[in-house]
Structure 1
Amino acid sequence: MSTETIKEMESVLDLQKKLHNSEDAPSYDLRMDRLKRLKEMLLKYSDEILETINDDYGTRDKNNTFLSEILSSLGSVDYSIKNLKKWMKPEKRIANAGQPFVARLMMKLLGASAEIQYQPLGTIGMIKPWNFPINLIISPVAQAFAAGNRIMLKPSEITPKTSALTKKMFNEFFDKSEIEVFLGGPEIAIAFGNLKFDHLLFTGSTQNGQKVMESASKSLVPITLELGGKSPVIMDDNCDLSTSATRIMRGKTMNAGQICIAPDYMMMPKGKVNEFIEESEKAISYMFPDIKYNENYTSIVNEKHFERINHLIDDAKEKGAEIRTINPADEDFEQQEGHKIPPTFVINPTDDMKIMQEEIFGPVLPIKEYDNIEETIDYVNSNPRPLALYYFGKNKDSEEKILNRTTSGGAAINDVVWQYGQEDMPFGGVGNSGIGSYHGVEGFKQFSHQKSVLRQFKSDLIKGMMPPYEGKMFENTKNQIMKK
C-alpha cells in the first residue's frame, strides 16, 4: 500500500507541474471558483466534521470544535474571497529609485516603470497536524488557492477518521490536478517530504520540523515551518488576577491545551501564586463543574500522549515541584478510558525538570515566581524563541519593555491564543518556533513568487555611461555624485 501511495504522489506531482507549466496562471474567476467550492465543502460537511473529530479524540468539545475548525476556517476563506482582487493586482514600485531625482523623473516621463507581479509558485506541499485537523488545512489551502497554486496534502495519521474524511471531501469538490490528499503513516510522510515541491508547508514539532527542513534542503525546496515551543505568560503585579485567570484557563483548557500557542509556563510575582490558583479554580469550576464525563472537556488525543503528559508531571513531582490539580467534582482520574487530565499547576519548577524542557501540549501549566520584571525578560531570552508570548498587566512601560526586548513569533496582551484568529496579521514563528508565516495577505505572498518587472524607457539616455564612454556624461555624473 505504501509503495502504491508513493507512486501516486509522484504521479500527481508530475501532473500538477506539467499543468502549471503548460497553462496560463489561474484567472481571478478560477481562483474565486476554487475558494467558493472550498467554502461550500465546509458548509456541507460541517456536522460530519464535528462528529468525526470527536470520534478521533474520544471526547472533544463540539462547540469549541465548531468555533475553531468551522467558524475560523470559514473566516479564512471569506477573507481570501473578499480581498482576492486586491491581492492579485501588481504592486507599483519606483523605477530607478536609486538615481538622482531629476534623472529619475526624466526616466519616468520617458516611460520607465516598475512593479511586483505575484506569480503562482506551482505545487504547494502541506504536511499538517492532528490538533486542529481541519482549520490548519483549510486556512493555508485558502491562501494557496488565492495565490493560484495547486496543492498536495498529507494530513496526520493520529486522527485517522478526520484524515479520511478530509480526503473524501476534497475528492468530491476538487480534481486531483487542483488538490489531492494522501493518507498514511510516518513512511508516507517521509516520502512526501522528499518530493520536489515548489514550496512545502509543515506544521508540527520542532524536532520533526528539523527533519523536514533537512529533507527539503536536498532539493532546495523552499519551506514554511510552523512549529511550537514553550510560550510564556508574564504576569505583572498590577494585573487583574480574576480576569487573567479566566482567560488563561480558557486558553489552557481549549482542546485540552493541545495547541501550539497555548501558554506553556507562567512567570508570576512572588506572593501571588495562591491567589491566582484560587481565581483559576473559580474559573474552571464555572466552565467545568465536573470533568471526567463532561463532553465539553476535551480528551488527550490518544494514550501515548496521555502517558507522555503524565510522565512530565511525575518527573516534576519527583524532582521537588509542588503539584496542584483543579478537580471541582473531586473525581478519580486513575481509572478512566477517556484520557482526560484535569487542569494542573506545577509550582516553582526547575530547569532540570522535563516539563521545562519540552513543549507540554496538555492542560498542565508550570508557574515560576520572580522578584523583578527584568528576570522574566532574561529568562525568556535565555531559552529558544517561542511561537507566542503573553503579557498580563496594566503597566505600559513593562509591556513595551517586554515586547521590545524579547523575540517571539507573535504576542498578545491581556489574553492568550486569540492572536491566531487575526486574519489581517501574519501568523508564524521565529528561530526554533518556525520559519515564515501565513494568514491573509502574508499567506498570499508566502505562496507566491514576487517577480520584479522593470519596463524601461525607449530612448538610450545612458549611452554615455557605457563603453566606450563617449563625451563627458560619465565624468560629470561621477563628479556630481562624489561631491555629496
Structure 2
Amino acid sequence: MSQIAGVTGTDELIEILRRQRADFLREGPPSAAVRRDRIDRLLAMVLDNIDEFVEAMSRDFGTRSRTGTLFAEIMGMLTAFEHTRSHTARWMRPVTANRLARLCGIGTEVHPTPLGVVGIIGPWNFPLQLVVVPAASAFAAGNRVMIKMSEITAHTAELTRTLAARYFDPVELAVVTGGPEVGAAFTRLPLDHLFFTGSTGVGRLVGRAAAENLVPVTLELGGKNPVVVAPDADLDRAARRIAHARMVNGGQVCVCPDYVFVPEDRVERFVDILRAELRTMFPAIVADPDYTASVDTANYDRVLALVEDARARGARVESLAPDGEDLPDPVARKIAPTLIRDIDDDMLIASEEVFGPVLSIRTYADLDEVADHVNARSAPLVAYWFGPDRADFRRFVARTRSGGVARNEFAIHMFSENAPFGGVGHSGMGAYHGKTGFDTFTHRRTVAGTNLPFAITGRAAPPFDARTAKLIDLALRAARLRTRRRVGGRVAVG
C-alpha cells in the first residue's frame, strides 16, 4: 500500500479529499467486516510499533517516561477499540421507526449511514491516542479518514504518517503533517465532518473555518476544571488523589484538576497533606525520567508567566522544588509542582487554563458560593467532587454545568465505554466514545415507503373539499381543548 508523502499545500489536501470521497462513493457503505478490518489495522499499527511510538514521544517531550506513555497513551485505547469493533455490526443495523404504522401499510426504517470523509485534527498532549480513538469510531461508522497531526509533537507526527503507509491505502486513511498553515488549510476543506481536540481559542478558529463549507464539527476543548472538597470528605484521600491527578502527564491533560475549593476550616490541613504527598512523589525532578517535561519552550514559558503574574499581584506561590535543585529548569523544561493561594479575579491564572504542574487553592464557607463561582465562568470539561454521594453533591451537580462530573477519582467519568465524553459551551461541542462516537460520524437516514392502493397525503393538494376542511377544524378543536385542560388557568385565553 502507498501513502501520500508530507503535505504542505492546499492543493495536495484537496486531492487527498477528492480521492477518498470518490472511492467512498464508488464503493458505497462498507460491510461490518471491512469496518472491523480497518479498526484492527489501526490498532495493529500502534501495537506493532510500540517502542517506536514511545521513543518518538520521549523525543517530542524531552522527558516522558515509557511507563507513563504506555499507561496513559496506549493502554487507554485498548478497551475503546475492542468495544467499538465488537459492537460495530449491531450499531450499523437499520432500526424500524414505527411498528404500528407498518400494520397500516407504511414501512419506515432509520438507516445509520456513513457521512463520507471525516477529518481529525489531533493535539500534542496525547498525540497518538487522541487521533486513533476518534478514527476508530469513524471507521466503525463506515467513513474514510484524514488526520492532521500536531506539529508540536513532530516526531510522533512523522512516525504516524510513515507507519500509516504500511497499514492503509490513502483512500482509507491519510495522515498529513505540517505547520499551522497546513492546519489552517485542513480546517477549510469541504469535509463531511471535522473533529478537533485542542484549546478553546483554536477551537473557535476551527469552527469558524468549517462553517464556511457548512462542515459539522466536534470540538473537544478544555477549560478550568474545578475540584470541590466537601465538608465531610476524607481529607487525606482527597488531597493525595488530587495531587496525583494534577501531575498526570506533567499536568498537561484537558481533564486535570485546575483549582480546588476547600472548606475554610480545613484548608491548612489539606495543603499540608498535598505538599507532603507531592514531595513524596518527587524527591527529585530534573533527573527523574517519570516527571514529564513541558512539551516545548512556548508552553514552559506560558505556565511560568501565569505563575509570575499571580505572584506579582499578591498571590502566595509555593514551589515544591526538591532541596538542591534549581527549578524551574529551562533546559529540561521542568517546573516543580507549584501551589498558589490568595488568588483574585484580576490574575491571569484565575481565568486561563494552566496545562502544567500548578494547582490553585481557594476556600469556601458555603457550597452555594462554590456553585456560583463555577456558574459565573465558562463551563469546564469536568467538575470534580471529593466526598460522599449525598444531597450536597447532588445539589452541586444539579446547579452547575460541565462536560462531565467525577467523584472521588480522577477522570472516572471517562472509564465506561458506554458513556459519552465531551464538553459543553466553551469546553466543547459534541461528544464521542462508544456508541456516541459511532453516532457522531453517522447520518441517520430515514427510508419510508408504502404499497397502499390509495394516496395518504393526496388531500394536501388542492382543490380542497368541504369534508377536508371540516376534518381539519375538528382535529384543531380537539387539540385546543386537550391543551387547555393541561395548562389550566395558568394561561390567559383571549
**Which one of the candidate residues 92, 95, 106 is aligned to 1:91?**
95
Task: Tell me the CA shift for residue 454 of structure 1.
Answer: 2.1
Name the CA distance, whole Å, in 2 between partners of 1:161 and 1:63.
19
Task: Tell me the CA shift for residue 327 of structure 1.
Answer: 3.4
Structure 2 contact 8–178 (Cα < 8 Å) conserved: no
Kindly indicate whether residue 72 of structure 2 is the aligned counterpart of residue 68 of structure 1: yes
Kindly indicate whether residue 145 of structure 2 is the aligned counterpart of residue 145 of structure 1: no
Structure 2 contact 7–13 (Cα < 8 Å) conserved: no
Q: Which amino acid aligns with 2:346?
A: D
Q: Answer with 399-408 or 19-28: which moved more.
A: 19-28
Q: Deviations over 1:297-324 (max 9, x none)?
A: 1111111111111111111011111112
Task: Tell me the CA shift for residue 49 of structure 1.
Answer: 1.1
Name the CA distance, whole Å, in 1 between partners of 2:50 and 2:395.
44
Q: Which amino acid aligns with 2:190?
A: K
Kindly indicate whether residue 376 of structure 2 is the aligned counterpart of residue 372 of structure 1: no
Task: Tell me the CA shift for residue 6 of structure 1.
Answer: 2.9
State the partner residue of 1:342.
336
Task: Tell me the CA shift for residue 330 of structure 1.
Answer: 5.2
**Which one of the candidate residues 6, 10, 19 is aligned to 2:10?**
6
Kindly indicate whether residue 404 of structure 2 is the aligned counterpart of residue 410 of structure 1: yes
Task: Tell me the CA shift for residue 4 of structure 1.
Answer: 5.0
State the partner residue of 1:320.
314
Counting only pairs closer than 5 Å after superposition, residues 46-65 of structure 1 correspond to structure 2 as 46-65=50-69
Q: Deviations over 1:216-247 (max 9, x none)?
A: 11111111111111111111111111111121
State the partner residue of 1:99.
none
State the partner residue of 1:178.
172
Task: Tell me the CA shift for residue 421 of structure 1.
Answer: 3.9
Q: Which amino acid aligns with 2:225?
A: S
| 1:110 to 1:246, Cα distance in 2 relative to 1, 3 A | same
Structure 1 contact 389–412 (Cα < 8 Å) conserved: yes
| 1:23 to 1:233, Cα distance in 2 relative to 1, 3 A | same
Kindly indicate whether residue 191 of structure 2 is the aligned counterpart of residue 197 of structure 1: yes
Kindly indicate whether residue 477 of structure 2 is the aligned counterpart of residue 482 of structure 1: yes
Name the CA distance, whole Å, in 1 between partners of 2:389 and 2:37.
48
Name the CA distance, whole Å, in 2 between partners of 1:213 and 1:475.
50
Q: Deviations over 1:172-210 (max 9, x none)?
A: 100100011111111111111111111111111111111
Q: Answer with 112-121 or 202-211: which moved more.
A: 112-121
Task: Tell me the CA shift for residue 479 of structure 1.
Answer: 2.2
Secondary structure class of the residue paired with 2:195: strand
Structure 1 contact 252–262 (Cα < 8 Å) conserved: yes
**Which one of the candidate residues 142, 160, 166 is aligned to 2:160?**
166
Counting only pairs closer than 5 Å after superposition, residues 256-295 of structure 1 correspond to structure 2 as 256-295=250-289
| 1:196 to 1:323, Cα distance in 2 relative to 1, 3 A | same
Name the CA distance, whole Å, in 1 between partners of 2:392 and 2:85.
39
State the partner residue of 1:305.
299
| 1:327 to 1:452, Cα distance in 2 relative to 1, 3 A | same
State the partner residue of 2:202.
208
Kindly indicate whether residue 29 of structure 2 is the aligned counterpart of residue 25 of structure 1: yes
Task: Tell me the CA shift for residue 463 of structure 1.
Answer: 6.6
State the partner residue of 2:243.
249
Name the CA distance, whole Å, in 2 between partners of 1:165 and 1:54.
13
Secondary structure class of the residue paired with 2:265: coil
Task: Tell me the CA shift for residue 138 of structure 1.
Answer: 1.1
Q: Answer with 326-335 or 255-264: which moved more.
A: 326-335
Task: Tell me the CA shift for residue 17 of structure 1.
Answer: 1.3
Name the CA distance, whole Å, in 2 between partners of 1:178 and 1:305.
34
Structure 1 contact 110–457 (Cα < 8 Å) conserved: no
Q: Deviations over 1:442-470 (max 9, x none)?
A: 11010011112223352426378444456
Secondary structure class of the residue paired with 2:339: strand
**Which one of the candidate residues 413, 416, 419 is aligned to 2:413?**
419
Name the CA distance, whole Å, in 2 between partners of 1:256 and 1:366.
15
Name the CA distance, whole Å, in 2 between partners of 1:133 and 1:464.
57
Paired residues, number:
474
Name the CA distance, whole Å, in 1 between partners of 2:85 and 2:6.
37
Name the CA distance, whole Å, in 1 between partners of 2:267 and 2:432.
37
Unaligned runs of 5+ in 1: 96-104
Structure 1 contact 257–362 (Cα < 8 Å) conserved: yes
Kindly indicate whether residue 454 of structure 2 is the aligned counterpart of residue 443 of structure 1: no
Task: Tell me the CA shift for residue 41 of structure 1.
Answer: 1.3
State the partner residue of 2:490.
none
Task: Tell me the CA shift for residue 79 of structure 1.
Answer: 1.1
Q: Which amino acid aligns with 1:462?
A: I
Unaligned runs of 5+ in 2: 483-494
Structure 2 contact 102–108 (Cα < 8 Å) conserved: no
| 1:422 to 1:172, Cα distance in 2 relative to 1, 3 A | same
Secondary structure class of the residue paired with 2:18: helix
Secondary structure class of the residue paired with 1:427: coil
Q: Deviations over 1:26-73 (max 9, x none)?
A: 111110110111121121011211121111111113212111111112
Secondary structure class of the residue paired with 2:83: helix
Q: Deviations over 1:75-113 (max 9, x none)?
A: 221111111111111123226xxxxxxxxx4x4313323
Name the CA distance, whole Å, in 1 between partners of 2:182 and 2:455.
58
Q: Which amino acid aligns with 2:269?
A: E
Q: Which amino acid aligns with 1:419?
A: H
Kindly indicate whether residue 181 of structure 2 is the aligned counterpart of residue 187 of structure 1: yes
Counting only pairs closer than 5 Å after superposition, residues 105-116 of structure 1 correspond to structure 2 as 105=100, 107-116=101-110
Per the normalisation by structure 2, the TM-score is: 0.91
Kindly, what percent of the aligned residue pairs are identical? 38
Q: CA RMSD in A?
A: 2.0
Name the CA distance, whole Å, in 2 between partners of 1:259 and 1:238.
28
State the partner residue of 1:15.
19
Q: Answer with 381-390 or 418-427: which moved more.
A: 418-427
Task: Tell me the CA shift for residue 338 of structure 1.
Answer: 1.3
Q: Answer with 123-132 or 113-122: which moved more.
A: 113-122
Name the CA distance, whole Å, in 1 between partners of 2:457 and 2:111.
29
